[in-house]
Structure 1
Amino acid sequence: MRKPSIREVAKLAEVSTATVSNVFSGKKPVNDELKARVQLAADQLGYQMDRAASQLRSQRNKVVTVLVPNITDTFFATIVSQLENLAFEHGYDVIVASSHDREEVEASRIKALMSWRPAGMIAIPCAGQLSGALLNLKNLCPTVLIDRVSVHSAPFDTVTIDNSAAGELACQHLIDAGHTNILIAASDLSFPPIRERVEGALNVLRNANIVQPSVIELGCELEAGAETITHWLASHPKPSAIFALTNVTTLSTLTALAELNTKVGEDISLVAFDDYAWMSARSTSLTAIRQPVEAVAANAWSKLLERIDSERKNSDPQATVLNASLIKRHSVKSII
């Protein structure tokens, strides 16, 4: 069957072809009433915009790419969801890929994403050091990095949180509740944010003249992390509190505590990292460090659009550092 044309959509909706084009491309704002008429006409005719042809005509690719270490991780998935919403509002399509926390996969994914000739890329590195594939983007397309990056050495715009301050917030709360025997459950200390969270925690504990706590690495896999911390807890004197530095290490810790029949908020205190609905829906809700996920995504998107519009690519990179907050609930028991 012949595909309906933009002119047929315009005629049925009783608008100009320019209005139809603006509705689907997002180049110019269209009021809600006209937009609804165009969408209804398009649905009735079965019309779909040929984005490739449109981009060739405009000589501008309305595609951005997003690369994350693991799309199943709730934090990364939330970032992707926020970016997709922002891209849609500005008339962009989004291509998403996951590196599965492996540099060779990251390089392959970057090559595949670049084949789309994107207007720009937003990436979360898979390792503590930027790979050659990521560094090569400097002269290829506007790029913004999020989360797993050192803001002091990145050759791209970055959006991160003040991880040191976040570590301080969590441990100060535990100290105020009387805890001095604290276990820090990290994921991978090669990641700059994780090191900074540990450093912030240690600074607060040193200032309070508390003996340096144990720090263990659980990795980025829930099951393997649960095994590691279960073994540690079974073979060491039990701490009075645990600070888990990511949402995955939080889940690993909870799995281990359930295996050892240890009740959170009664037998042991816990501060989690990231804050999701399930944390407050538990019988013992979790005290958590909340990252401003929406603000992280919004700032990254804003930076990328600025680079795309100015065609400055990645010169004079700028760092945006946001603040996390402490959400107090019932998983921290006062022992004073």
Structure 2
Amino acid sequence: MKDNKDVTIYDIAKKLNLSSSTISRALKDHKSISEKTISRVKKTAQEMGYRPNILAASLRSKNTKTIGVLVPTISQPFISSLISGIEITAQKAGYNVIITQSHDSYQEEVNKTKTLYNSRVSGVVCSLAMQTQNTSHFQQFLNKNIPIVFVDRVPKNFNTYKVMINNYTAGFKATEHLIFKGCKRIAHFYAGSEFGNLYSERKRGYLHALKKHHLPIDKELIIYLNEVTYEEGKRASHILLDLKNPPDGIFSLNDTTGVAAIQVAKKRGIKVPQDLAIIGFNNDPISHIIDPSLSTITNPAIKMGKTSAKIILKHFDSTEKNDIAEITFLNTEVLARESSNKINFKIS
């Protein structure tokens, strides 16, 4: 039976008849050790199957070089791109990434923050669960000077780093795009709680655009989604199209539900965009594939991820730890495609 015990520097020292401190310095290419000894030590270490205990070393330095990531679900294209951006930046700096999911459950989010805290992560990047209305479970990180960056779905009242788009402006742009295409009755898919500022800000932008262009606000055209899923998009679309006076435009909160709206409309014999113009959000791959292609708002997920990781790395390099209420806004734009390509006309 093989001995599964890890080889230590003491085992190498015993074999080479050297001190453990000499072995340690040689493995680190210390200038006090000769090149001949360094080569001999490294060769022996490799032959014996030695693995450095990175965790123990990181705990001694109080920096595990690990970034914890907590997101609603990795199955969404936006989230997977966000994670990719975090990993690209973290790996370049020699950091590892631990990825956890809340599945949009507040209790799961609480549980996963405990897991990350107990794993002694150096920093946290989090996009809040849809159910979350209390962020006290994140305070444990700040108490230990562990930086937190909230990204995309961020809380309104928690002083820490935040990376996001201006959701109000994005919601305004999306709605005004439909208005410029001739829509008079514009519906909106809405989700989340008022605690977070993502969907509530998009809704605020939607309402402001209607007011600016003197269009009526009809509450029956604002449909709340329990989840930001395809099935919920279908349900909401049927509700809207069953109305006595259905909408001629839909501003959807993401591309998945926007695609659902297109497919429901087509099955019901409603022409998109001639009878119903639709715009989504995020510029997911599915927005290109659907027929007609879905107009959307760009949401720079990879850049969000890279920016979030850079903020954590910068936090460790900075001597000043007081100003952590930093908000970074990234730009968005309208990508006009076939689903909103109605007759253009000018609004003065």
Establish whether TM, by shorter chain, passes 0.5. Answer: yes
Distance in 1, matches of 2:269 and 2:27, equals 66
In the other structure, the counterpart of 1:216 is 223
- Superposed structure 1 runs of 4+ greater than 6 Å apart: 1-7, 42-48
In the other structure, the counterpart of 1:195 is 200
1:88 aligns with 2:96: no
In the other structure, the counterpart of 2:42 is none
CA contact (8 A) 1:186 1:217 kept: yes
Q: Structure 1 residues 59, 207: closer, same or farther in 2, change over 3 A?
A: closer
CA contact (8 A) 2:240 2:246 kept: no
In the other structure, the counterpart of 2:291 is 283
Opposite residue 137 of structure 1, the aligned amino acid is: F
CA contact (8 A) 1:64 1:94 kept: yes
Distance in 2, matches of 1:327 and 1:177, equals 14
Larger radius of gyration, structure 1 or 2?
A: 2
- Out of 75, 95, 104, the position equivalent to 1:72 is 75
1:321 Cα deviation after fit: 1.5
In the other structure, the counterpart of 1:104 is 107
1:311 Cα deviation after fit: 6.6
Opposite residue 138 of structure 1, the aligned amino acid is: L
Distance in 1, matches of 2:241 and 2:28, equals 66
In the other structure, the counterpart of 1:36 is none
1:241 aligns with 2:249: yes
In the other structure, the counterpart of 1:148 is 153
1:304 Cα deviation after fit: 1.0
1:321 aligns with 2:326: no
Deviation string 1:148-182 (CA, Å, 9 cap, x unpaired) is 2245x321111111111101111111111111111
In the other structure, the counterpart of 1:181 is 185
CA contact (8 A) 2:273 2:342 kept: no
CA contact (8 A) 2:294 2:338 kept: yes
1:256 aligns with 2:264: yes
In the other structure, the counterpart of 1:61 is 64
Q: Structure 1 residues 204, 179: closer, same or farther in 2, change over 3 A?
A: same
Q: More displaced, 80-89 or 91-100?
A: 80-89
Q: More displaced, 242-251 or 179-188?
A: 242-251
Deviation string 1:27-57 (CA, Å, 9 cap, x unpaired) is xxxxxxxxxxxxxxx9999886643244246
1:84 Cα deviation after fit: 1.5
- Tell me the C-alpha RMSD between the 2 structures: 3.0
Structure 1: gaps (5+ residues): 8-15, 20-41
Distance in 1, matches of 2:90 and 2:50, equals 21
Distance in 2, matches of 1:255 and 1:90, equals 44
Opposite residue 110 of structure 1, the aligned amino acid is: T
CA contact (8 A) 1:128 1:149 kept: no
Distance in 2, matches of 1:73 and 1:163, equals 19
Q: More displaced, 154-163 or 71-80?
A: 71-80
Distance in 2, matches of 1:138 and 1:251, equals 40
In the other structure, the counterpart of 1:166 is 170
Structure 2: gaps (5+ residues): 13-25, 30-44
Distance in 1, matches of 2:112 and 2:120, equals 13
Distance in 1, matches of 2:137 and 2:324, equals 20
Distance in 1, matches of 2:83 and 2:230, equals 21
Q: State the SS of the aligned residue for 2:325.
A: coil
In the other structure, the counterpart of 2:313 is 305
Q: State the SS of the aligned residue for 2:288.
A: helix
1:72 Cα deviation after fit: 1.9
Distance in 2, matches of 1:332 and 1:62, equals 46
TM-score normalised according to structure 1 size: 0.80
Opposite residue 198 of structure 2, the aligned amino acid is: P
State the percentage of identical aligned residues: 27
1:242 Cα deviation after fit: 0.6
Distance in 1, matches of 2:143 and 2:186, equals 46
Distance in 2, matches of 1:63 and 1:181, equals 49
| Matched positions, count | 306
Deviation string 1:254-302 (CA, Å, 9 cap, x unpaired) is 4433443434323311111010233123332111100122221122111
In the other structure, the counterpart of 1:137 is 141
In the other structure, the counterpart of 2:119 is 116
Q: Structure 1 residues 114, 314: closer, same or farther in 2, change over 3 A?
A: farther
Q: State the SS of the aligned residue for 1:331.
A: helix
Distance in 1, matches of 2:103 and 2:286, equals 25
